Amino acid sequence: MGRIIVTGAAGFIGSHTTDRLLAEGHAVLGVDNFRTGHRRNLAAALKQPLFSLVEADVSAEGVMDAQVKDFKPDGIIHLAALVSVQESIQDPQLNQLYNVTATERVVAAAVAHGVKRIVFASSAAIYGDTRDLPIAEDSAKKPISPYGDAKLASEVLLLRQTGPGLTVRCHRYFNVFGPRQDPASPYSGVISIFDRRYREGKPVTIYGNGGQTRDFISVHDVVRANVIAATAPRIASGAANICTGKATSLLDIVGIYGARYPAVPPPTFAAARPGDIVHSLGRPERAKAELNFIAQVPVQEGLAELIRVG
């Protein structure tokens, strides 16, 4: 079994990734500054003897170097980030710190101490507003936010370091959803917002006509991709979409919630958000070819789980 450092371990994707690694018998060191992560997400992990947790900032000088030197991981799953696109627009310097400098620290520590593998949380945001659907990995990369710029820059600096000793995998996540996703901001993932509203018995707001579609992928599939990339023998470095290849509209989602919560008033409709894209869909073939990864959780099933466990 391996030894893995998970940065951003207290976050939405990080905590699920940590749980899965522990369940498979790996030793995990979580690093998180708890800026947007929550200790409650690690309630189960903290009971496991193979888990340890360091409260520290990945972007700070010396932090990753010391942790990697001490823990001697086989791999690092780097998920710590400034996760809000909106916040990256409001505070580009903070975005630079958490989404670029932090990656530089991870790479430097990995190279200095001979870590064999890095898995990085990239994003479909690197493609920007492409109309060329479904999106393949070699599509044009024209990010439209500092967040997308930073994810692309991180990919470049990570993939530059690959060699016989270090394998890097960049995962371009599409719209991830599932339990523990934080609905706190109006710009949080739409499913987390809708889930909270239906639970509270309040109508959701649909911006536009609800016909817009996204490639929604369950966090459990994303976690499986992370664990494969961190632990599978003999994989090559590269970047791939982590998506389902299936489009789901907001009306589809509201239909599922409406059936489950019949007493909640129907959605209200408001003007489409400026800059909102109508359709986003990824091509999943490269992850299948390079990682043998195929998303397995249908959206209906993922939503049923979310409605059940919250």
Question: Any idea which residues carry the catalytic annotation?
Answer: 147
Among residues 25, 74, 15, which one has the least CA distance to residue 45? 15
Which residue, 61 or 129, has its beta carbon nearer to ligand UD2?
Answer: 129
> Is residue 202 within the footprint of ligand UD2 (CB under 6 A)?
no
Q: Which of 10, 28, 77, 190 binds ligand UD2 (CB under 6 A)?
A: 190
Q: Which of 212, 218, 231, 248 binds ligand UD2 (CB under 6 A)?
A: 212
Min. distance of Cβ 175 from ligand UD2 in angstroms? 5
Q: Which of 75, 189, 238, 302 binds ligand UD2 (CB under 6 A)?
A: 189
Which residue, 117 or 151, has its beta carbon nearer to ligand UD2?
Answer: 151
The tokens for 217 are 């992928």
Min. distance of Cβ 136 from ligand UD2 in angstroms? 17
Selected range binding ligand UD2 among 33-41, 133-141, 163-171, 271-279, rule: CB under 6 A: 271-279
Residue type (1 letter), 187: Y
Q: How many CB atoms lie within 10 A of CB 25?
A: 9
Min. distance of Cβ 185 from ligand UD2 in angstroms? 9
Instruction: Give the β-pairing of 175-177 and 248-249.
Output: unpaired
Binding to ligand UD2 (CB under 6 A) within 83-102 occurs at: 85-86
Phi, psi of 271 (to 5 degrees): -60, 145
- Site map (CB under 6 A) of ligand UD2, residues 27-66, x = contact: ----------------------------------------
Cα separation, 82 vs 125, in Å, equals 13
Helix-helix angle 190-199:250-260, to 10 degrees: 20
DSSP state string for 126-178: GGBS--SSSBPTTS--B-SSHHHHHHHHHHHHHHTT-BTTBEEEEEEE-EEE-
Binding site for ligand UD2 (CB under 6 A): 85-86, 125, 145, 175, 187-190, 193, 205-207, 212, 214, 250, 273, 276-277, 280
